[in-house]
Amino acid sequence: MNERRAQRVRARIEEAFRDAGVTGRLAAVDVDGGRGIGVRPDEPVVLASVMKVPLLVALHRQAAAGTLDPAERVVLGPDDRTAGSTGLAMLRDEVAMSLRDLAALMITVSDNAAADALFARVGVPAVNTVLAELGLRGTHVAGTCRELFDSMESDAGVADREELWAVLDEPGMLGRLSALDPARTSRSTPAETAGLFAAIWRDEVAPAAHCAQMRRLFALQVWPHRLASGFPYDDVRVSGKTGTLPTIRNEAGVVEYPDGGRYAVAVFTRSVSTAAVLPKADAVIGTAARLAVEYLRTAGG
């Protein structure tokens, strides 16, 4: 009976993806009970800015081990900062900030400049070592945010991001961008990403105090139009991290109910359109997550 219900839920999620004009992959798991449901949950996907999640975990593991002081201050001049549409990249003057405050900007507003300052301190190899230690064999961080965007400009043969956006709809262009190919960029699977969030919520990736600090940042994320849009209730908390690249919209996180139910969800989508604004493609992430979580909340009953 449960498998037939699961099949119906998967069909509804697939229909929602089609109606929104995207292809999608999803994994959802009961953080405490272990039940799960997925739509192609083990297929490789492009992480985009969801790669900042394993970076945050690596930062806190180094802090817990005493090899890094989260209060350590970093000075970033305007020319030192990776470009982006949020956070430090918008500012004009020199900034001095602690590693933990950089982490706050990296998660809450997906600040690329803050992330790359942390990558410089933590190290990309160290992030991948942590992923291996956690048994996440399908998850890999290929490089920094600056390297990701530099690769897109190089692959497209353009001089800057403004020119890149102007040529995205040229025939064959999307296939040339390694940043959109999970075999050639930072990648994971929905199942592993949801599993990583579940492990953070169970205090398994670092000491409990550090996991609590991570959970606080995910809860402070400012974007309401993806995962949170599926749970518009005052008493349901949604914590997460988005990821966005041309044609790609992702979000992974945890949905917490007032009765104590906790559900980790990872949704990865890709649209045909290169338009930067596609409200239906954003909203279907919340719709798909809600369908999956509603199934998990009744599957054992």
How far is residue 41's CA from residue 93's CA, in Å, rounded to a whole number? 44
pLDDT digits (tens, 9 = 90+) for 184-235: 999 999 999 999 999 999 999 999 999 999 999 999 999 999 999 999 999 9
DSSP SS3 for 73: strand
pLDDT digits (tens, 9 = 90+) for 36-79: 999 999 999 999 999 999 999 999 999 999 999 999 999 999 88
What's the rounded mean pLDDT across residues 143-172? 93
Q: What integer pLDDT is reported at residue 54 of this predicted model? A: 98
Long-range contacts of 165-168 (CB under 8 A, 24+ apart): 165/246, 165/276, 168/246, 168/274
Q: What is the mean pLDDT of the chain?
A: 95
CATH number for the domain that contains residue 138: 3.40.710.10
Q: Decide if 26 contacts 41 (C-beta within 8 A).
A: yes
Tell whether the torsion through CA atoms of 289, 295, 296 and 298 is positive or negative.
positive
What's the rounded mean pLDDT across residues 256-264? 98
Q: Decide if 240 contacts 253 (C-beta within 8 A).
A: yes
pLDDT at 149 over 80: yes
pLDDT digits (tens, 9 = 90+) for 83-127: 888 899 889 899 999 999 999 999 999 999 999 999 999 999 999
Above pLDDT 70, what percent of the chain? 99
Domain count of the chain? Answer: 1
Q: What integer pLDDT is reported at residue 2 of this predicted model? A: 81
Confidence of residue 299 (pLDDT cuts 50, 70, 90): low
Domain limits at 109? 1-298
| Start-to-end C-alpha separation, the chain | 12
pLDDT at 82 over 90: no
pLDDT at 300 over 60: no
pLDDT at 161 over 90: no
How far is residue 85's CA from residue 105's CA, in Å, rounded to a whole number? 12
How far is residue 140's CA from residue 191's CA, in Å, rounded to a whole number? 14
Q: What integer pLDDT is reported at residue 301 of this predicted model? A: 41
